[in-house]
Structure 1
């Protein structure tokens, strides 16, 4: 059975963003030279749109991935990449030495925005086959679509601004725990789950059924721990 510990990173805007990592060991991470070179090249790549590059100053992709302990030789699963903002960085950074699974929405996405993002994602991959040809698309949706990667194969699972959608769209806590368990099962022992998301600042006043889906860090951590993860820390990098 996997034995995973965790780290949590917090917010650029207190009360709005938080990041949870389930990782080991629980100390600050730094990028090795090969990974830093690969990340710098990916972030500066001409395949990225000007609009996406403009968001780097707010989303801090290099610092966020460094905190998660990202390496360019890892097998990484990206949950619900949507239109592929982070995929534009992860795919080229992992292309030479690693592997990327893009765990997209259900095969038949129930929401219009999911269908639109999935369509634009496929277009993106087809436009730059030299960068994206090795990306493996899996699906993370219904209870029958939870094998996001072969069991015990991934070094890291990352999810960016998705957890609140699970609550906003009515999936709820049981579905969140089921999803976290799927991530746990995909990871190798000692693997990392990195989460960046909106957060509700006060557990006493949160409403998991609210339209925006914002929940507290405490609830997110509890859901991940219920799936088997152990909390290791947090940071204000994002």
Structure 2
């Protein structure tokens, strides 16, 4: 029995390595980065970083903003994926200072480890970028702009600022925990979820085109009635992964 289990585990590891090897070099380099903390690597199975990089079109030389980077899970990955010719701006909203529980120092430490990462520490409503960006990426944060973390965040203003910061054709990637359909903003402060239709409506109203969805983080078994931090669902919530594009003719 032990031999059979070992064989299964070995087979799974070999398949994972083979799958990673089949990815573009920038992705394999990013995920093989030995500087990544062990706790980050453990989360890869739930967060699907290789698929996120592919979906976001983050490539060597790209200029990327990691909007609300937390402890820098994606910041580290982006830094390696864009390489020395690219740049990553970790936008850490100052509204989170009282809630961050040490994460602001963490992202500053990440910036010291990666020479192509810089931290922007400013109010969320003052969002801007030092140069035109290829991608703005935010994971599991959009709902927070509607709750007590960011009051008085103005998502209309934030989305317009993201639009302005991107190059024509640039991408805005939004990942978040899905709420029940039709619930709007009802659950943002209680369950930390948001109705994906509300997100799509707000972002397209800022001038973006909806450019597609990845379903790799979907979980149809999530009843969407539990707080995302509930042990019964944490790390396994139904998440939407949306891609929005700034039109090529936009200024």
- Once the 2 structures are TM-superposed, how far is the Cα of residue 141 of structure 1 from its aligned partner? 2.1
- Once the 2 structures are TM-superposed, how far is the Cα of residue 218 of structure 1 from its aligned partner? 0.5
Tell me the equivalent position of 2:177.
198
Give 5+ residue unaligned stretches, structure 2.
Answer: 1-20, 218-251
Is the partner of 2:109 in helix, strand or coil? helix
Tell me the equivalent position of 2:116.
134
8 Å Cα contact 1:38/1:72 also seen in 2:
yes
- Once the 2 structures are TM-superposed, how far is the Cα of residue 139 of structure 1 from its aligned partner? 3.4
Match of 2:58 among 61, 70, 73: 70
Q: What is the aligned length? A: 196
| 2:103 is equivalent to residue 117 of structure 1 | yes
| 2:46 is equivalent to residue 58 of structure 1 | yes
- Once the 2 structures are TM-superposed, how far is the Cα of residue 93 of structure 1 from its aligned partner? 1.7
4+ runs of 1 displaced by more than 3 Å? 170-174
Give 5+ residue unaligned stretches, structure 1.
Answer: 1-32
Tell me the equivalent position of 2:156.
177
8 Å Cα contact 2:176/2:194 also seen in 1:
no
8 Å Cα contact 1:80/1:140 also seen in 2:
no
Partner Cα separation in structure 1 for residue 64 and residue 46 of structure 2? 23
Highest Rg: 1 or 2?
2
- Once the 2 structures are TM-superposed, how far is the Cα of residue 204 of structure 1 from its aligned partner? 4.3
Partner Cα separation in structure 1 for residue 184 and residue 195 of structure 2? 9
| 2:71 is equivalent to residue 83 of structure 1 | yes
Tell me the equivalent position of 2:138.
159
Partner Cα separation in structure 1 for residue 96 and residue 58 of structure 2? 32
| Deviates further, 199-208 or 211-220 | 199-208
8 Å Cα contact 1:104/1:137 also seen in 2:
yes
- Once the 2 structures are TM-superposed, how far is the Cα of residue 142 of structure 1 from its aligned partner? 4.4
More relative contact order, 1 or 2 (CA 8 Å, 6+ apart): 1
8 Å Cα contact 2:71/2:104 also seen in 1:
yes
8 Å Cα contact 2:26/2:80 also seen in 1:
yes
> Deviation string for 1:210-238 (max 9, x for gaps)?
32342111000111012111112212122
Is the partner of 1:192 in helix, strand or coil? strand
CA RMSD of aligned residues (A): 2.4
